[in-house]
Structure 1
């Protein structure tokens, strides 16, 4: 991926999907009565919306970018968020929710890392490194919460 606008369109779509999924997980955890997990997923949804707004501002987008299906450069043909959340339903329990969230963050981190490795555009590489680092932080936060909830 060597075009900053295309890169940012992918980042925007990924963060949009992540925010939606985290809101769904927050609602599920509220139903299960797990306030700590619900609060965590609410914060993650807010981070995703913040990253979404930042990516839109960086690219000068006023609306969510529209691309044809064949223009998206997703691994396996779907965004990392869609692939990760395929197993979610209204009965998702806390451990499953955590595993799904971790999978989404790991897939997103790997997506950005792959762009860092493959791009020839220095601006895309710089942003992809930044975004990969943010996703790695989310992975670490999720792993920490998972250990705490398992104890």
Structure 2
């Protein structure tokens, strides 16, 4: 899927504001997913999501460090971010792909999709921007995301797809209307 960059890469400050929001949203989403998995006593997947949150938080700090070289970042309202056709950043894992009984394989598949989307976003910025500094930074960030894609793929080798009955719950949660 090609990401339409629009004005999110008009200048270095705006690009870095988008990159920072992307990483912060990814970290927050992984934390929310980890909390949800812990609530359902799915400790192994919760730990994996916490690790992914930590990686995204570290990347946000890297973006802040780079931004210091360029001055204050512009203030961008949440509805002004230009991620394509969605209001969420490309790297925020989708809640609809989560299940309280999910296995590490599923969590890694979610992470793989998120990392691919982050990579595609940065690659699109690099290809479409008219600003050479934005293009340079976007290529660096795209390479870093490509490394994350490779890492998640490597992790997936350790966690093969579970059997088809993975979501069977002999004691499902009580639901009341």
TM-score for both structures, normalised by structure 1: 0.81
Rounded to whole Å, the distance in 1 between the matches of 2:32 and 2:120 is 23
Equivalence for 1:7:
15
CA 73–87 in structure 1, closer or farther in 2 if over 3 Å, else same:
same
Equivalence for 2:6:
none
Is the counterpart of residue 131 in structure 1 residue 141 in structure 2? yes
More helix, by proportion: 1
Equivalence for 1:68:
77
Is the radius of gyration larger for structure 1 or structure 2? 2
Is the counterpart of residue 107 in structure 1 residue 92 in structure 2? no
The answer for unaligned runs of 5 or more in structure 2 is 1-8, 162-177
Is the counterpart of residue 32 in structure 1 residue 42 in structure 2? yes
Equivalence for 2:169:
none
CA shift, 1:69, in A, is 4.8
Rounded to whole Å, the distance in 2 between the matches of 1:134 and 1:16 is 16
Secondary structure (helix, strand or coil) at the match of 1:75 reads coil
Rounded to whole Å, the distance in 2 between the matches of 1:74 and 1:59 is 20
The count of residues paired between Structure 1 and Structure 2 equals 148
CA 5–96 in structure 1, closer or farther in 2 if over 3 Å, else same:
same
2:116–2:146 CA contact under 8 A, matched in 1: yes
CA shift, 1:146, in A, is 1.4
Is the counterpart of residue 16 in structure 1 residue 24 in structure 2? yes
Q: What is the aligned-residue RMSD (CA, Å)?
A: 2.8
1:28–1:90 CA contact under 8 A, matched in 2: no
Rounded to whole Å, the distance in 2 between the matches of 1:20 and 1:130 is 23
TM-score for both structures, normalised by structure 2: 0.70
